[in-house]
Amino acid sequence: MLKKEIEKLANNLIQIEHVSTTLYLAMSAYMAQQNYTGMASWLRLQAEEERTHMLKWIDYVTDRGGKVEIQALPAQPAEYGTPLQTFQKVLEHEQFVTESYRKAYEYAAQNDQQTSVIIQEFLREQIDEEAQSQTIVDRLKIAEDNPAALLVLDQELGQRTAAG
């Protein structure tokens, strides 16, 4: 049985992953409207990954006898600017997620070892999430004033598969 404080922590992480899902879906729709179909596809897959994270937390809470509380979602913007500005927002969001997991880990490590192990798995994954986002931002900075390079990068991002 989950302690109430751990249940609350897990529900907060569910909310973060749920918001991440809708944020990346909104960004995907925006990129598709701008005809950056590769970036739209990459963001759609990112949204699915975040949804999977949310579902893992939901399963964890229910498996431990806790109560899942799905909170209301904030509305997401309809526009995100240039591809560079969009992916800078992705990077900022991933940094926020990482910091949220770090804080959750600090608490869980002192209060619930099982939960801290699960959080560690997500923290390890966040290393890759931030690195991917940073690489995309860096490459978009290089390509920003070169439409051909931007389209090549868009095409490359469209090659992402669900596994990566």
- The pLDDT tens digits of the residues spanning 37-94 come to 999 999 999 999 999 999 999 999 999 999 999 999 999 999 999 999 999 999 999 9
Return the structure tokens found at 67.
């109560």
Angle at CA of residue 158, ends 91 and 15, nearest 5°: 40
The pTM for the full model equals 0.94
Judge whether 38 and 159 are in contact, CB under 8 Å: yes
**What is the distance, to the nearest Å, from the Cα of residue 78 to the centroid of all Cα atoms in its chain?**
18
Query: d(Cα 127, Cα 101) in Å, to the nearest integer?
Result: 12
Residue 39: which of 148, 145, 156, 131 has the closest Cα?
A: 156
- pLDDT at residue 160 is higher than 70: yes
Q: What CA–CA distance (Å, rounded) separates 141 from 85?
A: 10
All structural domains of the chain:
4-157 (1.20.1260.10)
The predicted model gives 111-133 an average pLDDT of 96
For the segment 3-25, what is each residue's pLDDT rounded down to a tens digit? 999 999 999 999 999 999 999 99
